[in-house]
Structure 1
Amino acid sequence: MNVNRRSSISEGYRNIRTNIQFSGWNQNLRVIAVTSTQAGEGKSTTISNLAVAYAQEGKNVLIIDADLRHPSQHSIFNLSNRVGLSNLLADQCSYGDIVHSTVVENLSLVTAGPVPPNPTELLSSDKLPEVIAAWKECYDIILLDTAPVMAVADGLIVSSLADGAVIVILAGKVKREYIQKAKEKLEHAKASILGVVLNQKKYSKSEANQYRYYHQ
């Protein structure tokens, strides 16, 4: 996570934030899912830095770690994951028990909680839409960290509940056919794809940002 406003990485995420806003100029994009085709493409780092970019703009931001199988946001923000989203979805705690403040002003986090035996079942229940609707009353932007869409159905379920979805792709590591299949899966789940973040693409010094965003 980068909080230095003057760094090239922060500038890259501000550009992504702006491009997302422009790609949804005729929509009210308040809930955005960030996913990937497979593990290890940088989606969780991308979503945490994107959240910082929104928070530094003055937005009241909430990250929800909805990757119940391999959660990571608690590690990024150095917070406890003892109780989180999985507990709330299983009616084991209340809303206020799992919202954490972070070191970044205007940015809060809901950790994933303990890995449950039935993540897909929990995420596909009626509880998650209810939870998101409740938090929309309190936050300007909600960012959903989801499981990779080619691995399990979890990421598709969560992405379908968002106003739009962004796919993070690790440059040079994912076959075009695999990306196309992920796109088709999201569209079949009726997720609105906003664009793609190309992670670790090598550019010339004049194009130094680590991330690039391509909208639909």
Structure 2
Amino acid sequence: MSVFFGHDSASAAPIRPAPVIRALTEKPIYIGVGDYARPPMGWVQFCSEHADDCRGGPSEPRDVRLTAPTWSQLVEINDHVNAMIQPATDVDVYGKVEYWTYPVDRGDCEDYVLLKRRLLLDAGWPREALLITVVRDQRDEGHAVLTVRTDHGEFVLDNQVADILPWYDTGYRFVKRQSQSNPNSWVALGDSRPRTPVTASDRRP
């Protein structure tokens, strides 16, 4: 399945699904990005064990050109991972409080994110558009999601919600994520809700 980048294709005009139309007409479609933030320790640990998946220096930010085929592929991969992986804590699966890795059949939120990101990369999506993101949920608990940057806004792939939603419709407070220009650099995200430190102990699967 093809993935389109940029905005100049004359032969394939985007077909906007309902969430894209809402994003264009109601609220800011991109979240504010702030200064440097410290990478999560789980990402550092993951990169120490999967060095090939963390290589690569700075690059130009790229957004995915959202079309009917790209949207369908995004939904398919999100649904596939959510269905095949059963939620479980790192303690239950690995005997560790915090451990980021590719899941086999069970895992917590970061494991879902890593697998979705890898499958999208394998399908030809640019890494600059696939950003691991730390949020706080409605219960003020730490959680991880995959933010996908498109030319029609930012959408969130989540193991706790079936639908792919615009970032502002998730109800989450966005804390930090990978930089578009370097996956090993992290940036703070603009959000007006009170900040609470994200710790490993309060993160949900």
TM-score category (smaller protein)? under 0.3
Bigger fraction of residues in helix: 1
**TM norm structure 2:** 0.27
**TM norm structure 1:** 0.26
